[in-house]
Structure 1
């Protein structure tokens, strides 16, 4: 099957996103983050913050394990496709028969919706200072799980499947990992799942206890990283600004990752797994070797 000009352009953009060039701004941000990261570690050791992060992590695990939190309605999305003129789209499987260009048009400005919601939620929680973190972080993750779920559904993937849940959690891990090492860990997981699904390999269901363990590990790492990134909320005047601003920034990263990664998988369904960029080697197992949860990087 000959690849179209639109799809070639999309793949080029996706592969460039996966392999960004590090500019002077990124280097400067890394230098700035080092002392902030050290300060974050110091604040995390205090009883008040330690208690807040434990509550946040427990809330995260609850959110990640509760299927109701995804709350994506596939039929509503399929109806959007039909309203856009694709009357034959009756199931998620039918979506893969569309062109990427058609799918992209229906997806539209999905990221803008979630960034606006995240900004409003974060501003409210940020005004509450450190006490708001225990509520804010699980709420932020629930919002972003829904965003990922919508992107998955728009591009024809069933978020109820175990492999899709793992893919979604690793998008969260990727979006909260600015450091090369932890970003590569998450990307390796994403490449592994993408390739396995694209090759139509039989999915070997993980034992429930193993699946839960992986989710808990990702949730714990997320809890530490995001808490450290939001510690500026303990400053009353800056809290609402930082809270809302960070939530919008994180949600922007999540939506961007979901947009590129699900589009790549959509194209892999049409052209085969060779279109999946492999600049990062696929992971050896589905259990991520994430950084120590007490020493996650500051975003």
Structure 2
């Protein structure tokens, strides 16, 4: 577990740098380049999440593991109320029935959007958008990394 987490910290550092520079680049361009930030940053986060899942030994090609990782994503980027309900699903993943191992796409989209609204709005302003994008993307990826590490650690220890 210690070796996995050291490796996770290494790849998290790389992904944070990529995300920060992507945020700065798209923030620098103002509104039009800022529109490109959402899909670019989302793809960086998803790639990190699946790389981290592989690092912890999860079969990320299976549907069930993909759903687990999306639940971890929701745990990281949701409101407090949604996070409380997601926490139980993630922590008891091995014990919950197959019927609950699914993703509510509408909730995922709404929670994710609402979590990032204000920060990403500031990124659309030329000039300050670059600084906001650089800092925000790095911090958001760090948050995803911590959530992924803790959820994976607890899952391995519970099984």
- What TM-score, normalized to structure 2? 0.84
Deviation at 1:108, TM superposition (A): 4.8
More helix by share: 2
Q: Aligned runs of 1:122-137 on 2, under 5 Å?
A: 122-137=23-38
Deviation sequence 1:168-189 (CA, Å, 0-9, x none): 2222222223x53232133233
Question: Does structure 1 residue 267 correspond to structure 2 residue 127?
Answer: no
Assess if the C-alpha contact under 8 Å between 1:163 and 1:193 holds in 2.
no
Structure 1 vs Structure 2 CA RMSD: 2.4
Q: 2:43 aligns with which of 121, 139, 142?
A: 142
Go from structure 1 to structure 2 and tell me whether the alpha carbon gap of 1:132 and 1:188 turns closer, same or farther (over 3 Å shift): farther
The residue aligned with 2:21 is 120
| Count, aligned residues | 159
Go from structure 1 to structure 2 and tell me whether the alpha carbon gap of 1:176 and 1:130 turns closer, same or farther (over 3 Å shift): farther
**Which structure has the greater CA radius of gyration?**
1
Identify which of structures 1 and 2 has the higher relative contact order when contacts are C-alpha pairs closer than 8 Å and 6+ apart: 2
Deviation at 1:132, TM superposition (A): 3.1
Structure 1 alignment gaps of length 5 or more: 1-99, 270-299
The residue aligned with 1:230 is 120
Go from structure 1 to structure 2 and tell me whether the alpha carbon gap of 1:183 and 1:120 turns closer, same or farther (over 3 Å shift): same
Report the 3-state secondary structure (helix = DSSP H, G, I; strand = E; otherwise coil) of the residue aligned with 2:17: helix
Deviation sequence 1:96-120 (CA, Å, 0-9, x none): xxxx234334445221111111101
- What TM-score, normalized to structure 1? 0.48
Assess if the C-alpha contact under 8 Å between 1:137 and 1:223 holds in 2.
no
Q: Aligned runs of 1:17-36 on 2, under 5 Å?
A: none
Assess if the C-alpha contact under 8 Å between 2:76 and 2:143 holds in 1.
yes
Go from structure 1 to structure 2 and tell me whether the alpha carbon gap of 1:102 and 1:242 turns closer, same or farther (over 3 Å shift): closer
